[in-house]
């Protein structure tokens, strides 16, 4: 598909999106008195801010800018899709990433606006009432709701490491039941996508990814936590297309996880020039040099943090001066090594698809990425022989 806006394939996509929005608009609103315009206004954002945001999401989903008004329309009907959000074994950082209640972004407001039928952190109900609410929502919206699950699923001791509610139902069973009747399933965060911190060796609770307890397709939205943009983008993508997005080998949406952190990193020029921070606080750190030698795992990590950033686009780990830990990769706690040390020549399995300077190594497939380490040696040599900077 080309990027020409006159491309007929975009014309038909536009039409398909319009039809889907029309269809959703016919479903009942969550709250007749509420509207996205009202939510935006009450939280101090202008229509212009909202349209700018819609333009950003449109670009993030690799759609032409002519789709921006349609994206804004799609948000208006987002409250027609019932959502059930389950908490398993995790830290609630994924919810916090999205809600950011102290300083909500437009992404978090969208989440406020949607039809969140069940979310343990947010709802007022507790105990028996909460359990009842979940059952009611699953029954009422059977086959129609979107299931979002945060957290790994403990399966050890027959799943008894996680029990929820007055009846002590196992988290594993709740997740399986909820997945059975869902229209689409999103694993939010690395814990739900890949097991996460509780699945790190020796994994005492036998925590597994959501995809291991259901036969249905699970779209993984990893990151510990994932950015609010990737969560909202996944929802809006589903809303517009009504189908699953193109996924990589780890079932991550390609629109968000296609490239490595390293491919779009603002410090990449320093990597290529062999300019590295040797230890935190040194002159290189002050000059914004590459963090590879103090442990950045950006060359092995597929995510869009360097482009979309966090906290309303304010910053992201590498911008703050600390390397990427690889938090959106499977088993990063066990496989990415010491946080402040490079992987060097350790062999590392990675998904294919990287398009950076060392793309060829990635294209081997689920292959072995050693070229970065080799590259580092080459760059280090360049660093030794390059002429000293003026004044050195
Ligand atoms: Fe925490 Fe979510 Fe990490 Fe896990 O995020 S931020 S431990 S991905 O499940 O709450
Ligand atoms: Fe950026 Fe890390 Fe790559 Fe250096 S190694 S360019 S800091 S992603
Ligand atoms: Fe995680 Fe690395 Fe992004 S640590 S938040 S994938 S920069």
Helix (H) or strand (E) holding 115: strand 115-119
Q: Which of 237, 256, 275 is the last residue of a domain?
A: 256
- Residue 353 φ/ψ region, left for φ over 0, alpha for ψ in the -120 to 50 degree band, beta for the rest: left
289 and 179 housed in the same domain: no
Tell me if residue 337 falls in helix, strand or coil: coil
Q: Which of 223, 256, 289 is the last residue of a domain?
A: 256
Q: What is the whole-number distance in angstroms between the Cα of residue 41 and the centre of ligand 3?
A: 32
Provide the H-helix boundaries in the chain. 8-25, 36-42, 47-60, 68-76, 93-99, 106-113, 127-140, 171-180, 190-194, 228-241, 254-257, 268-272, 283-286, 305-308, 317-320, 332-335, 359-362, 371-385
Residue 110 lies in a domain: yes
125 and 239 housed in the same domain: yes
Residue 18 lies in a domain: no
11, 23, 88, 100, 144 from 120: Cα distances, Å:
41, 30, 10, 16, 20
Ligand 1 proximity of 353 Cβ (cutoff 6 Å): no
Q: What is the whole-number distance in angstroms between the Cα of residue 95 and the centre of ligand 1?
A: 8
Peptide bond before residue 180 is cis, with ω within 30 degrees of 0: no
237 and 108 housed in the same domain: yes
Contacts of 235 (CB under 8 A, 6+ apart): 78, 81, 83, 110, 114, 146, 186
Beta pairing partners, 26: none
Pick the ligand that lies closest to the CA of residue 327: 3
Residue 138 lies in a domain: yes
Residue 75 lies in a domain: no
- C-alpha 208: how far from chain center: 18
Q: Are strands 146-150 and 184-188 parallel, antiparallel or unpaired?
A: parallel
Q: Which residue's alpha carbon is nearest to atom 3 within ligand 1?
A: 224
Note whether 283 and 275 are within 8 A (CB). Answer: no
192 and 306 housed in the same domain: no
pTM: 0.87
pLDDT value at residue 129: 84
- Residue 341 φ/ψ region, left for φ over 0, alpha for ψ in the -120 to 50 degree band, beta for the rest: beta
Note whether 204 and 89 are within 8 A (CB). Answer: no
Ligand 1 proximity of 327 Cβ (cutoff 6 Å): no
Residue 357 lies in a domain: yes
Ligand 2 atom closest to the CA of 291, numbered from 1? 7
Q: Are strands 163-164 and 153-154 parallel, antiparallel or unpaired?
A: unpaired
239 and 296 housed in the same domain: no
Q: Name the domain count of the chain.
A: 2
Sequential pLDDT tens for the chain (392 residues) = 434 445 557 999 999 999 999 999 999 887 888 899 999 999 999 999 999 999 999 999 999 999 999 999 999 999 999 999 999 999 999 998 888 756 678 888 888 788 888 888 888 788 888 889 999 999 999 999 999 999 999 999 999 999 998 888 999 999 999 999 999 999 999 999 999 999 999 999 999 999 999 999 999 999 999 998 999 999 999 999 999 999 999 999 999 999 999 999 999 999 999 999 999 999 999 999 999 999 999 998 999 999 999 887 889 999 999 999 999 999 999 988 889 998 765 544 444 443 333 333 333 333 333 444 444 443 433 333 333 344 44
Q: Which residue's alpha carbon is nearest to atom 2 within ligand 3?
A: 324
264 and 252 housed in the same domain: no
pLDDT value at residue 101: 59
Residue 62 lies in a domain: no
167 and 280 housed in the same domain: no
106 and 160 housed in the same domain: yes
Structural domain containing residue 197: 35-44+80-256
Question: What CATH code is carried by the domain that includes residue 296?
Answer: 4.10.480.10
| Alpha-carbon span 49 to 363, nearest angstrom | 40
271 and 322 housed in the same domain: yes
Q: What is the whole-number distance in angstroms between the Cα of residue 294 and the centre of ligand 2?
A: 10
Six-digit token pair at 2?
């080309």
Q: Which residue's alpha carbon is nearest to atom 2 within ligand 1?
A: 94
pLDDT value at residue 356: 35
Residues with CB under 6 A from ligand 2: 261-262, 265, 267-268, 271, 290-292, 296, 298-299, 318, 323-324
**389: which DSSP letter?**
P
Six-digit token pair at 392?
């050195």
Q: What is the whole-number distance in angstroms between the Cα of residue 330 and the centre of ligand 1?
A: 13
Note whether 355 and 302 are within 8 A (CB). Answer: no
Six-digit token pair at 226?
């994932």
Residue 87 lies in a domain: yes
């Amino acid at each position: 598909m080309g990027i020409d806006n006159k491309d007929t394939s975009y014309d038909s996509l536009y039409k398909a999106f319009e039809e889907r929005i029309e269809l959703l608009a016919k479903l009942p609103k969550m709250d007749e008195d509420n509207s996205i315009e009202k939510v935006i206004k009450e939280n101090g954002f202008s229509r212009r801010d909202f349209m700018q945001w819609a333009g950003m999401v449109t670009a993030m989903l690799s759609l032409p800018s002519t789709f921006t008004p349609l994206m804004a329309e799609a948000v208006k009907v987002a409250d027609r899709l019932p959502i059930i959000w389950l908490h398993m074994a995790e830290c609630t950082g994924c919810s916090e990433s999205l809600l950011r209640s102290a300083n909500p972004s437009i992404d978090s407001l969208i989440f406020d606006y949607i039809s969140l039928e069940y979310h343990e952190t947010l709802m007022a109900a507790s105990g028996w009432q909460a359990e009842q609410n979940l059952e009611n929502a699953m029954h009422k919206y059977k086959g129609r709701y979107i299931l979002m699950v945060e957290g790994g699923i403990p399966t050890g001791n027959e799943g008894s490491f996680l029990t929820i509610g007055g009846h002590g139902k196992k988290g594993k069973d709740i997740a399986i039941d909820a997945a059975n009747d869902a229209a689409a399933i999103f694993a939010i965060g690395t814990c739900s996508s890949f097991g996460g911190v509780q699945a790190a060796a020796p994994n005492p609770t036998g925590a597994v990814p959501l995809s291991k307890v259901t036969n249905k397709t699970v779209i993984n939205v990893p990151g510990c936590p994932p950015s609010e943009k990737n969560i909202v983008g996944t929802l809006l993508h589903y809303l517009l297309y009504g189908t699953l997005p193109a996924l990589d080998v780890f079932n991550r949406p390609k629109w968000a996880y296609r490239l490595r952190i390293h491919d779009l990193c603002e410090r990449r020029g320093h990597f290529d020039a062999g300019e590295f921070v040797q230890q935190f606080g040194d002159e290189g750190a002050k000059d914004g040099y590459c963090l590879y030698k103090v442990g950045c795992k950006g060359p092995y990590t597929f995510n869009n943090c360097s482009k979309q950033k966090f906290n309303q686009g304010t910053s992201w780990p590498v911008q703050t001066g600390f390397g990427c830990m690889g938090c959106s990769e499977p088993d990063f706690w066990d496989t990415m090594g010491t946080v402040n040390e490079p992987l060097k020549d350790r062999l590392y399995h990675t998904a294919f698809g990287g398009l950076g300077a060392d793309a060829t190594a990635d294209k081997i497939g689920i292959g072995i990425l050693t070229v970065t380490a080799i590259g580092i040696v080459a760059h280090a040599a360049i660093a030794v022989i390059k002429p000293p900077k003026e004044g050195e």
